[in-house]
């Protein structure tokens, strides 16, 4: 259980469940996790992130089966294993990528978890909810940054899948840093990233989801439509938000229509129009 000073901090997932009162988190070494509330940085579906000294430590979300009723233990162990495997996959992505400007700085990966730089401004989903809209040049910089980062990941033969504002952090200098690579697929370096497919995930699916991220930045409001939930079939344009007057509206539309055959093509096209916006300001 995450413990604060005199109060218990319960992760999002637990607030609605009876078992919240009973369950406890385990660290990768099998001991119970105890952290102060002020050190808690975030928790997603599969992991917990908290301050550990000057850095952030991401560990798999694993509940101590012993803290649950006997009939729930097997299921929980299965979920724990899945979360542990996802973190192992994420470690492999950080190992392959190394340092890249648009990705959270990875200090190290070890048995203890993934150690990252701390980004105090938090994630872009929360930021768009709590801050007034930034100007067009800032949006242009951010859009160029996310496109360059996904282009880079594809060139390293990594498909991303979980492209969302909650998985993009903001640096002190307002640069964007991608996190959360547990749903990625890492292909051999000789693979053709534009033709490979893994259980439905393709470069074109990443490009569709990237269109949703670009739209969310342009429209200053989270918009998600994960193709996984529609058997990887793209929705019709008429079932997607209107793009009139939006920065990069034409590019978003082409992402949603599946008109880019590669990130290279998308990067090449958007770079010119964004650099024009940046030059005018």
Residues that bind ligand ATP (CB under 6 A): 41-47, 49, 56, 58, 104, 116, 118-119, 122-123, 162, 166-167, 169, 179-180, 182
CB of 164 to ligand ATP, least distance (A): 7
Give the span between the Cα atoms of 116 and 55, in whole angstroms. Answer: 6
Q: Is 231 exposed, middle or buried (0-12, 13-18, 19+ CB in 10 A)?
A: exposed
Which residue number, 15 or 279, has a Cβ lying nearer to ligand ATP? 15
Whole-number Cα distances in Å, 75 to 50, 72, 79: 26, 6, 6
> Which one of residues 64, 161, 180, 206 is an interface residue with Mg ion (CB under 5 A)?
180
> Which one of residues 167, 202, 219, 262 is an interface residue with Mg ion (CB under 5 A)?
167
Give the span between the Cα atoms of 248 and 151, in whole angstroms. Answer: 17
Strands of the chain (E only): list them. Answer: 2-3, 8-9, 40-43, 47-52, 55-60, 106-110, 113-116, 158-159, 168-170, 176-178, 185-186
The residue among 186, 135, 143, 182 whose CA lies nearest residue 165 is 143
CB of 246 to ligand ATP, least distance (A): 25
CB of 217 to ligand ATP, least distance (A): 16
Whole-number Cα distances in Å, 206 to 129, 146, 159: 24, 12, 7
Beta bridge partners of 2: 9
Among Mg ion, ligand ATP, none, what does residue 45 contact (CB within 5–8 Å per kind)? ligand ATP
Among ligand ATP, Mg ion, none, what does residue 169 contact (CB within 5–8 Å per kind)? ligand ATP
Among Mg ion, ligand ATP, none, what does residue 175 contact (CB within 5–8 Å per kind)? none
Q: Are 181 and 93 in contact (CB under 8 A)?
A: yes
Q: Are 84 and 113 in contact (CB under 8 A)?
A: no
CB of 260 to ligand ATP, least distance (A): 25
CB of 47 to ligand ATP, least distance (A): 4
Which residue number, 41 or 201, has a Cβ lying nearer to ligand ATP? 41
Which residue number, 123 or 206, has a Cβ lying nearer to ligand ATP? 123
Which residue number, 54 or 245, has a Cβ lying nearer to ligand ATP? 54
Query: Considering only residues 33-62, where is the footprint of Mg ion by CB under 5 A?
Result: 44
Residues that bind Mg ion (CB under 5 A): 44, 167, 180
């Amino acid at each position: 259980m995450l413990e604060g000073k005199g109060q218990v901090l319960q992760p999002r997932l637990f607030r609605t469940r009876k078992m919240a009162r009973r369950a406890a988190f385990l660290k990768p070494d099998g001991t119970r996790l105890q952290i102060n509330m002020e050190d808690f940085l975030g928790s997603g579906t599969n992991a917990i992130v908290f301050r550990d000294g000057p850095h952030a430590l991401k560990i798999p979300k694993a509940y101590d089966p012993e803290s649950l009723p006997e009939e729930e233990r097997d299921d929980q162990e299965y979920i724990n294993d899945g979360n542990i495997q996802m973190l192992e996959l994420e470690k492999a992505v950080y190992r392959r990528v190394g340092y890249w400007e648009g990705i959270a700085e990875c200090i190290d990966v070890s048995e203890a978890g993934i150690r990252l730089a701390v980004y105090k401004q938090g994630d872009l989903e929360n930021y768009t909810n709590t801050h007034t809209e930034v100007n067009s040049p800032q949006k242009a910089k951010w859009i160029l940054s996310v496109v360059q980062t996904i282009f880079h990941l594809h060139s390293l033969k990594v498909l991303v899948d979980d492209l969302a504002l909650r998985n993009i952090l903001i640096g002190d200098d307002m640069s964007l840093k991608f996190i959360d690579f547990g749903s990625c697929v890492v292909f051999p370096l000789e693979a053709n990233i534009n033709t490979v497919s893994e259980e439905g995930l393709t470069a074109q699916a990443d490009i569709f989801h990237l269109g949703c991220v670009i739209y969310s930045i342009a429209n200053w409001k989270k918009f998600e439509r994960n193709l996984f939930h529609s058997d990887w079939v793209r929705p019709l344009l008429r079932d997607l938000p209107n793009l009139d007057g939006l920065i990069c509206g034409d590019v978003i539309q082409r992402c949603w229509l599946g008109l880019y055959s590669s990130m290279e093509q998308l990067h090449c096209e958007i770079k010119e129009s964004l650099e024009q916006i940046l030059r005018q300001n």
